[in-house]
Structure formats: C-alpha cells, structure tokens
Chains A and B, each alone.
Chain A
Amino acid sequence: MIFEKVQEKIAEQLGIDTDDITMESSFIEDLGADSLDIVELLMALEEEFDIEIPDEEAEKLVTVGDVVDYIKNNQ
C-alpha cells in the first residue's frame, strides 16, 4: 500500500513508468534522479503521508525501499 503510493509519486516526479520502480531501485543510480528531484520528491511524500523527514535522515534514503521503510516506521 505504502509502496504503491510511493511508486506513484516517484513516477510523477521523475516522469518514468511505475513498472520501472522496485523496492531495490536507487534514486540516483537506477531512476536517474538528481539531488533537486529527491528534495522535491521527499517534500511530496511528506505531504502525502503527513510526516517530517529531517535532513540527516533524508541523506540516508538511497533506495525506494529505504523510503518505504522510513514511512512505515514514522507514520
């Protein structure tokens, strides 16, 4: 459920297909995101899930799975 929503947001932000986004995908290496895309994406997710992602945590979120786990643990 969380994964599907995250997948949708990523696809929208990066203009890619949801099928290309897996739990293992790295934002930069696999999905072609740059640092500004990640900032925007995390802001969109903060609003979607009503959470706060502090900068020091944001730096550790490398893959889609990292983000999904973070949301699960902080909702």
Chain B
Amino acid sequence: MIKLFLAITMVGLLIPIAPGGNPEHAAPKRSITVPKPDDPGSGLPPGAIQTQTTFATIKITIDPLGKPLGAYQFQLTSPDASFKVLGVEGGGHPAFDHGRPPYFDPVVREAGADRLILAEYALPRLDAEQLPSEPVLIARVAVLFDQPIDADEPPAINLLLTTAGDADGNKIQANLSHTLQIPERPE
C-alpha cells in the first residue's frame, strides 16, 4: 500500500509538469497547403488526383466445406504494402448479422498496419441448419495503402485462417479467398 501511495503521488507530480508548458515555448504550428487541381496556378489539370496512397476494397469469402459455419477468425496481411483500415463491414449473411461489423482491432484505423485480424461468431440462437455451409462472403474491408498501386499489379494479400467452428463450437476446416478491388481513378 505504501508503494502504491508513492506511485500515485509521483504520477501526480508528473501530470502538471508534462503537458503543455509555456505556450511561448511551444513549437510553432506548421501548416501545409496542398494545391487543389481546380485552383488557378496549381499546375494540375482539372479533375486530377495527386496522391501517394491507394484506396482499395478487399472482399473476403470463406468456404466451410459443407459444414455449418458457426465462427471464424483469420488474419489478413499485406507483406508488400502497409495499409490503414478505413472501414470493415460484414458480408451480409443473416447468420452473422449482429448489427455491427466483425471484431477487429480499431488501432488499424489510426495507424498504418501490415496485418488485420478479423473474427466473428454466428448468432447463438441459430441452429446448424440456419448457418452457411457453402462459400459465403464474410467481410468487406476498405483500406488505404500507403503507396501508389497499379490495379494491374495489386499487392499480395495473404489470408491465414486461425480457427473456424461449427454450430457446436467444434473446429472445422475452411478455405479463405479474397478479391481486391481498386477503383479506377478519374481521367
């Protein structure tokens, strides 16, 4: 208890010292002006997009090989290009419709990442007959790669199944596949 009290006291000492300081000593704020294509003198033709990032959508499908799919967990990696996740949606199958996206770590939305773990379980009230046993779309992931990507040469996307289970929670085999869609840039 004494050490806990000392720790709290010392952390309390840190709090008024650490943040801010004198505003006169703060680093000067920098502003970056990005020329817009429509701005006169920008040097860019109207409608042009000047970017070093690439928006893409990854659709993931799982095939439970004839077994009712009760839950899945997998890891998505992109060894060639780090990305930021802009959004995650479920696949739309009613067995997995919880009214929210599949589980994922929200930190990937704030910082670049080279992997993403997605997991979801079926509505627990459903019977095995109500669960998908054929290939089913389970997730749509909108990502922003941190580099220009040619649609003809998309980066590698690796999907690694961590686990999948049937209606009783028993582990089952399943195959994952994906499609990567990069919207065409306007001419």
Does B bind A?
no
